[in-house]
Chains A and B, each alone.
Chain A
Amino acid sequence: MVKEMSVHKIGATLDASTSNREQEALVALMDKGKDVAIDLSGCDYVSSAGLRVLLYSYKLARSKGLQLYLIGVHEEVREVMRMTGFEKFFAYYDTVEDCTLCS
């Protein structure tokens, strides 16, 4: 079975300078009622504010009964998420294809 979802690609950095814009885009996608995959494969730095965008999106998705997936998270970013306690909330996939194929 192939999942239906919206994919949102994040730019090179996710921090306080981009967090408002990215957050609004993610909220708009979830307002359409579809599961969301956040593609972080092009992002090599997620700041404290950026981690909050991800966790806020997860909590918003949960409240709407939607799924939220993280795609292509760089190992350095994943390690920071591990140490700061943000890692456990998310489901991780290497690519968008992996994510849509896994049920």
Chain B
Amino acid sequence: MQRIDIFPTHEYKGFKLRAGRPYPFGATVIGNAVNFSIYSRYATGCTLVLFRNHAKEPFVEIPFRKEFKLGNVYSMMVFDLDFEDIEYGYRMDGPYDPAQGHRFDKTKILLDPYAKLIAGRDVWGTPPDWNSIFQYRSRIVYDDFDWEDDLPLEIPIEDVVIYEMHVRNFTCHESSGVKHRGTFAGIMEKIPYLKDLGVNCIELMPIHEFDEFENSRLSPVTGEPLYNVWGYSNVGFFAPKAAYAATGCFGMQVDELKNLIKQLHANGMEVMLDVVFNHTAEGNENGPYISYRGIDNKTYYMLTPDGYYFNFSGCGNTLNCNNPNVRDMIVESLRYWVTDYHVDGFRFDLAAILGRDQNGCPMSNPPLLESLAHDPILGKTKLIAEAWDAGGLYQVGSFPSWGRWAEWNGKYRDAIRRFLKGDERVLADVKERIAGSPDLYASQNRGIKASVNFITAHDGFTMMDLVSYNGKHNEANGENNRDGEDNNNSWNCGWEGETSDPGINFLRHKQIKNAMTLLMVSQGVPMILSGDEMGNTQFGNNNAYCQDNEIGWLNWNNLEKNSDIHRFYKQMIAFRKAHSVLRFEYHLGYSDYLNTGYPDISWHGVKAWDPSSGYNNLTAAFMLNGQYAKCGNATDDFIYVAMNMHWEMHGFELPVLPEGKHWYVFSNTDAPAPLDICEPGSEPIIENQHEILVGPRSIMVLVGK
């Protein structure tokens, strides 16, 4: 049966046309036509501009006829186009009146906000033609892909171990040994490595199309170019970064990324995207016309009463997230990544902005966040907020959640870092963090699963640098070391930077193992920073967003150099996966409500059952009762963790186990490798069942079975 509405009705300069379908927005192949549809509330006219691939000049510009506009949507079908050899954009006519919020300029050719493929920055670091009249070019994609039986994995969030990765930095160094360095295909080659490490969720730093040349300049230290490597600056919300695909030069980034996600899923790993819906790459009133400001400035941006750009993102502009049309765009973008790319979850950069109204004021029930929490397609999608913004809104523990949103727990990072370096004023806070931050998340039915625990992330020091530097060293970023976080809660263990001192290096490795131990035995969703497992250093740079070189790239030679750290990470992840008592969904009762003889969690000091006993808030222990695993529906072992952050050794009296059970030691960060940790299940029994000696600045993990 053929449709009767697929015949052209008009002709313009030899191109056959008819009125298009307003929905969906963007460019869609329908039979032998392409349907172009774009929304603008305030434009007075619109012209479709068509280029051949890479052409300097368009081959035709087709104005939308009056009868091709419905409501505020321009839509038109153009017949017989070779859709693989088309780059398209729009010219929008309308008022230029910044005070009223309008910045229309029909001399500019604009990217389609709904473009699913964007050309112009196809191969990383290849300088564009700066004189080109059209820099970021929308292209048309055929949306099919053979997923076979693949779907998002829907692993319960409390069972997930997140690995935060940058696509390019992960394999760009030649030591990675992959064929296509710095690409999705490169990650694919490292799947066996990731699987062996044991992580089961890969969080990709922004992979939406961005421009690595934005703000590019030369390094004052090396004279090499500095790029926007991290990409927290969206050009488009529907298109993957072409230069992250080895096949980007052929325009095949969509298939390459989908194939990567399919392969990761087949190996038991979810994929989470770090998404940046708080601003765009267009900057403030001095920035370029890429798309949004020329298509409908007043719709897409939060504007001051006199028409300037609010800057809650710290990047020049703020996306007008709670404008109903922008809200729709965000929802459609997220749905698209879930339905067409099978993405498992999202981490929202500066998510507090998503809860501001069109004047910038925080709302108590932000409609965008509510829509996302209740969206049918995103119904099982993991939603994680970076619950603060650059405008001073800090919502850790209070992000509007509807029981659906988790948060990056910045307070976890701060408390654990301070404890590790021997801060005597933080133990009470640490006890909350280890138990899944009930002080923050026990309300609103949020539970432990709302807390994404991390000690390091892309912002700030790597784990190795956290124990090697007291202060940041960002000179190479070209801002006289003014950029980047000043309050790092780091400690260099006695020497600033790399050293050959074996004592200092042993202590650094021990501190890293202490950190990893705490992260894996804490209730909540652990996240590790890619490279930490091999002791990756950024040489003290705690804001390496522009370092496309040895500073930012993972050096895989460190795997051998720091093999003890890698082994420790791997076994610690395996331990967490082996013990469901470490992975509660909701908060603990601190009582024995199932009458097992022991509470679900109990705190101890150097004396059993006496949490007040010990040295100056630097010693503490806790015990988890395996009979409470999965709310009593699973049976696990007892787990006892003794933490000594004092610089002297301390004896810890062990709680008495039920008749017939004994204490075994899983890990002891004070012991040199390979005695520091073992494979879960092969723990040696402890001779003295009444007391253990925990070395200076050390953590021991015991299993009672």
Binding site for B on A (CB under 8 A): 15-17, 47-49, 51-52, 55, 80, 83-86, 89
B interface residues, tally (CB under 8 Å): 26
Task: Say yes or no for B380: interface residue by CB 8 A criterion.
Answer: no
Contacts of A47 on B, CB cut-off 8 Å? 84, 250-252
Complex Cα distance, B84 from A15, in Å, reads 8
Known: A17-B84, A84-B259. A48 touches B146 (CB 8 A): no
Q: Shortest Cβ distance from A11 into chain B, in angstroms?
A: 15
Q: Which residues of B contact A17 (CB under 8 A)?
A: 82, 84-85
Q: B142: CB under 8 A from chain A?
A: yes
Contact B252 A84 (CB under 8 A): yes
Chain A nearest CB: distance from B110 CB in Å?
A: 24
Instruction: Tell me whether A83 and B188 are in contact in the complex, defined as CB-CB below 8 angstroms, given that A48-B142, A48-B250, A48-B252 are known contacts.
Output: yes
Q: B188 — which chain A residues lie within 8 A by C-beta?
A: 83
**How far apart are the CA atoms of A49 and B141 in the complex, in Å?**
9
Task: Report yes or no: B144 in contact with A52, Cβ–Cβ below 8 A.
Answer: yes
Q: How far in angstroms is the closest Cβ of chain B from A16?
A: 4
Q: Are A16 and B83 in contact, CB atoms less than 8 angstroms apart?
A: yes
Bound-state CA distance A55–B247 (Å) is: 18
Chain B residue numbers with a CB within 8 Å of A48 are 84, 141-142, 250-252, 254-255
Chain B residue at smallest Cβ distance from A49: B84
Q: Give Cα A47 to B245, complex, Å.
A: 15
Instruction: Among B83, B84, B141, B256, point to the contact of A83 (Cβ < 8 A).
Output: B256
Chain A residues with CB under 8 A of B258: 85
Question: Which residues of chain B come closer than 8 Å to A84, judged between CB atoms?
Answer: 247, 252, 255-256, 259
- The answer to whether A80 and B84 have CB atoms under 8 Å apart is no
Q: How far is the CA of A86 from the CA of B245 in the complex (A)?
A: 15
In the complex, what residues of A have CB within 8 A of residue B180's CB?
A: 83
Asked if B199 is an interface residue, CB under 8 A from chain A, the answer is no
Of A15, A49, A52, A80, which one neighbours B247 at CB under 8 angstroms? A80
By Cβ-Cβ distance, the 4 closest A-B pairs, closest first, are A85-B259, A16-B84, A84-B255, A83-B185
Within 8 A of A (CB), among B229-255: 245-247, 250-252, 254-255
Q: What residues on A are CB-neighbors of B247 within 8 Å?
A: 80, 83-84
What are 18 of the A-B contact pairs (CB < 8 Å)?
A15-B84, A17-B84, A47-B84, A47-B251, A47-B252, A48-B84, A48-B141, A48-B251, A49-B83, A49-B84, A52-B142, A52-B144, A83-B185, A83-B246, A84-B256, A85-B258, A85-B262, A86-B255
Q: Is the CB of B255 within 8 A of A51?
A: yes
Which residues between 141 and 196 of chain B lie within 8 Å of chain A, taking CB atoms? 141-142, 144-146, 180, 184-185, 188
Q: By the criterion CB–CB under 8 Å, are B250 and A55 in contact?
A: no
CA distance A52 to B144 in the complex (A): 9
Mask for B110-149, Cβ within 8 A of A = 1, else 0?
Answer: 0000000000000000000000000000000110111000
Which residue on A lies nearest to B246, using beta carbons? A83
Q: How far is the CA of A85 from the CA of B252 in the complex (A)?
A: 11
CB distance from A12 to the nearest CB of B (A): 15
**Complex contacts, B83 vs chain A, CB 8 Å:** 16, 49
Interface string of B415-454 (1 = CB under 8 A from A): 0000000000000000000000000000000000000000
* CB nearest neighbor in B for A55: B146
What is the CB-to-nearest-CB distance from B53 to chain A, in angstroms, rounded to a whole number?
Answer: 11
In the bound complex, CA of A89 to CA of B251 (Å):
22
- Cα A55 to Cα B144 with chains together (Å): 11
Assembled-state Cα–Cα distance A49/B83 (Å): 9
Q: Count chain B CB atoms within 10 A of each CB in A47, A48, A55 and give the residue with the most.
A: A48
Sample of 19 more A-B contacts, CB < 8 Å, known A49-B83, A55-B146: A15-B85, A17-B82, A47-B250, A47-B252, A48-B142, A48-B251, A48-B254, A49-B84, A49-B142, A52-B142, A80-B247, A83-B246, A83-B247, A83-B252, A84-B252, A84-B255, A84-B259, A85-B145, A85-B262
Given A17-B82, A17-B84, the answer on whether A80 and B142 have CB atoms closer than 8 Å is no
Interfacial chain B residues near A86, Cβ < 8 Å: 255
